[in-house]
Amino acid sequence: PATESKRLRIAMQKSGRLSVDSQALFASCGLKINLREQRLIAHVENMAIDILRVRDDDIPGLIMDGVCDLGIVGENVLEEESLQRKLDNDSADYTILKRLDFGSCRLSIAVPQEESYANSSCLEGKTIATTYPRLLARYLKQQGVNARIVTLKGSVEVAPRAGLADAICDLVSTGATLDANGLKEVEVIYRSKAVLIQRKNLCDDKQLKLINKLMPRINGVMQANE
């Protein structure tokens, strides 16, 4: 019948820094997931939920376009997509349900180790490679620095050695990647964690009830981890 409820769709990262913790969170909340490798959609056996395993960069858009109902994503990716969509006059609506206790990282500017660096004015006229051009542009504007931004989807850390850029702006968690590439962190421009987000205008009664059932479980799991 037309009134039948749709299964709740939750987007999570397929593989990467958030995927193991996201999966563990679902398991702790009692979701029985049949996660066969290579599967885009995994059905939750004991609840009306489907898990969509996608690239993390795609998650904000899936929520903002209303294609998925919930998603777990890094704030850095979420903020970058929001800034871009606002510039493009595209819909950028979502609600943060919960700031999670995993996926901590910082978005930082790094320069070659041998370079002397005093403050952000040292970046004036330089070329900076990044996967997060909008967050970087916002920072440079705040600092009143003019620099050229080169957008790379991956291998940002090799850009200075390859002669593509003078500096980079990339995620740092342990710092091992910077070390391995002869770079030093000089500015932290954004601190990020994983967040659980919901699309706007979700109004299906059964889906809302399901979310209301999940939230106390998530809170409980997080308290137990403290």
Interacting residues with Zn ion (CB under 5 A): 56-57
Complex with ligand PRP: residue 29 or 83, whichever CB lies closer:
83
DSSP string, 144-209: T---EEEE-SS-GGGTTTTTS-SEEEEEESSSHHHHHTTEEEEEEEEEE-EEEEE-TT---HHHHH
Nearer CB in complex with ligand PRP: 69/157: 157
Contact of residue 182 among Zn ion, ligand PRP, none (CB under 5-8 Å per partner type): none
From the list 37-45, 90-98, 169-177, 214-222, the region that binds ligand PRP by CB under 6 A is 169-177
Which of 45, 58, 49 has the alpha carbon at shortest distance from 10?
Answer: 49
Q: Which of 171, 189, 211, 214 binds ligand PRP (CB under 6 A)?
A: 171
Strands (E), 8-136: 8-13, 41-43, 49-54, 70-74, 95-99, 105-112, 127-130
- Of the pair 66, 175, the CB lying nearest ligand PRP is at 175
Strands 49-54 and 41-43: antiparallel
- The answer to the question of residue 17 lying near ligand PRP (CB under 6 A) is yes
Nearer to Zn ion, 135 or 214 (CB): 135
Residue 133: in which H helix or E strand, if any?
Answer: helix 133-143
For the segment 142-161, give every residue that binds ligand PRP (CB under 6 A).
Answer: 154, 156-157
Tell the smallest beta-carbon distance from residue 170 to ligand PRP (Å): 5
Choose the one of Zn ion, ligand PRP, none that binds residue 193, judging by a C-beta under 5 to 8 angstroms depending on kind.
none
* Phi and psi, residue 113, nearest 5°: -55, -35
Please report, as ranges, the residues that interact with ligand PRP according to CB under 6 A.
16-17, 154, 156-157, 170-177
